[in-house]
Structure 1
Amino acid sequence: MTLFDLSGRTAIVTGANTGIGRAIAAGLAGAGADIVGVGRSAMTGTEADVAAAGRRFTAIHADLSRAESAGKVMAEAAAAGAVADILVNNAGIIRRADALDFTEEDWDAVLDTNLKSVFFLCQAFARAAITAGRPAKIINIASLLSFQGGIRVPSYTAAKSGLAGLTKLLANEWAARGINVNAIAPGYVETNNTTALRADAERNADILKRIPAGRWARPDDMVGAAIFLAAPAADYVHGTILPVDGGWLAR
């Protein structure tokens, strides 16, 4: 057995059009997996990355703010002949405002996309794997705010804290059924979600001072952890939340 070989495997990656999702999709393909990319916008760049690795790419367009999308994703993947045994729940949004001013609309939008839809996609994916009797891996993309409070992102913090708990609960229920459920908690990463922070000179400087590695993460920094959690190397890893944060939480 090759510990980090994903040959013959198929991974569903949500939010695969850009940032962390695109990097993980390309990385898993480089390790041998075919990829089913899920997103609301075109994934042409990701498709090119996967093709360059010599793997198959299937695009599924879905609005993951709606819980019923979970069944649609699984049905479309099956219709395309993709028997998925890896699920990466990466899609997410963020809304920023002081807690005193935060709106119900912004609360619901983030919780629906970042937590509710993740649960129902995990459920649909696990049902298929358990029915077929095949082992599977689920990797949720958590956050430093699964451990900390942050500021001005109440719904994001609530969702990512909930996702950490959900990861542990699902691991407890499904470990004995052949499904590993774990999470990656990225640090501050150069993505669309952090554009506002990086554009704020004072906040950017404060963040950099706190990171022992001395730089923001790049999406590619998440790839090694994703391959590990998807691969045979992590067959006995259940319910862990793995920070990839440049040392932020150690500070």
Structure 2
Amino acid sequence: MQFSGKTVIITGAGKGIGRACAQLMAQRGAKVVALSRTQSDLDSLRDEFGAHGIRVDLADPAAARAAMAEAGTADYLINSAGINVLESVLDMTEAGYEAVLGINLRAALICCQEFARARVAAGGGGAIVNITSIAGHRGFQDHLCYAASKAGLEGATRVLAKELGPHGIRVNAVAPTITLTELAAEAWSDPAKSQPMMVRHPLNRFAEAEEVAQAIALLLSSDSSMVSGAVLPVDGGFLAV
């Protein structure tokens, strides 16, 4: 229970990696403040382990700031909220760009800013983990805006680490490979699609959401007290080859 007595804010906590993070952090003793745009997901997290839910559309900057104000001062922040709009370079639309960059990058930076302001006012300390992607390191078809958002968040993570370090706030990121959330498992169930990608992984499999959550918990914990400004691939060796 290494997070006993601590509070963590998790965006995108209703599904996928965010939900796995919420479950793991609760199991390890943390009080979870869950941000999601789906009320039924928040209700299920409350019923499962008493998470405090805040319903919010993070695409709205003012709503994102209001949700972080409602969440209050916490010890940790996990930025898991993310979306993708599959558009090729030639077919990119302004709407697709605004949707993806608005959630994946702008909302994450707003949440980091509001978390940091509260931490500094409380005397400093704390940790942030941003969830990026291997798509920020390798070019994937129809992932133009998604790749830009994730690469941008990694650059921002380094700036955050530099500026917030003097306040005792550590900031890191994890870059997962394809992670078998419920949605992804369906999308990658066809061997004709999944096998060419899987063979690029030395471990010859994709990630489970729980494995990404465990890496995030490590970066938040005191076991990583000297780690800041890092991007940890959780990719089965994909980026190493």
Q: Shorter-normalised TM-score: what interval?
A: over 0.9
Residue of structure 2 equivalent to 1:218: 208
Residue of structure 2 equivalent to 1:62: 56
CA separation in 1, counterparts of 2:87 and 2:187?
13
Aligned pairs for 1:141-152 (under 5 A) are 141-152=131-142
Residue of structure 2 equivalent to 1:231: 221
Contact 1:186 1:222 in 2 (8 A): yes
1:218 Cα deviation (Å)? Answer: 1.1
Residue of structure 1 equivalent to 2:89: 99
1:174 Cα deviation (Å)? Answer: 0.6
Contact 1:14 1:21 in 2 (8 A): yes
Say if 1:145 and 1:132 are closer, same or farther in 2 by CA, change over 3 A.
Answer: same
The DSSP-based 3-state class of the residue aligned with 1:23 is helix
1:141 Cα deviation (Å)? Answer: 0.3
Residue of structure 1 equivalent to 2:21: 24
1:46 Cα deviation (Å)? Answer: 3.0
Taking only the aligned residue pairs, the percentage that are identical comes to 38
Aligned pairs for 1:109-128 (under 5 A) are 109-128=99-118
1:48 Cα deviation (Å)? Answer: 4.1
Residue of structure 1 equivalent to 2:33: 36
The DSSP-based 3-state class of the residue aligned with 2:54 is strand
The DSSP-based 3-state class of the residue aligned with 2:90 is helix
The AA in structure 2 aligned to 1:181 is: V
Contact 1:138 1:180 in 2 (8 A): yes
CA separation in 2, counterparts of 1:72 and 1:151?
36
CA separation in 2, counterparts of 1:240 and 1:75?
27
CA separation in 2, counterparts of 1:45 and 1:230?
25
1:166 aligns with 2:160: no
Residue of structure 1 equivalent to 2:5: 8
The count of residues paired between Structure 1 and Structure 2 equals: 239
The DSSP-based 3-state class of the residue aligned with 2:61 is coil
Contact 2:57 2:64 in 1 (8 A): no
Q: TM-score, structure 2 length as denominator?
A: 0.94
The DSSP-based 3-state class of the residue aligned with 2:17 is helix
The AA in structure 1 aligned to 2:86 is: R
Deviations 1:108-166 (A, max 9, x none): 11000000111111101100100110311111001002222222111000000000000
1:203 Cα deviation (Å)? Answer: 2.2
Structure 2: 5+ residue stretches without partners? none
CA separation in 1, counterparts of 2:127 and 2:168?
8
1:191 aligns with 2:190: no
Structure 1: 5+ residue stretches without partners? none
RMSD: 1.6
The DSSP-based 3-state class of the residue aligned with 1:60 is strand
The DSSP-based 3-state class of the residue aligned with 1:16 is coil
Residue of structure 1 equivalent to 2:198: 208
The DSSP-based 3-state class of the residue aligned with 2:232 is strand
The AA in structure 1 aligned to 2:69 is: A
1:245 Cα deviation (Å)? Answer: 0.7
Say if 1:160 and 1:175 are closer, same or farther in 2 by CA, change over 3 A.
Answer: same
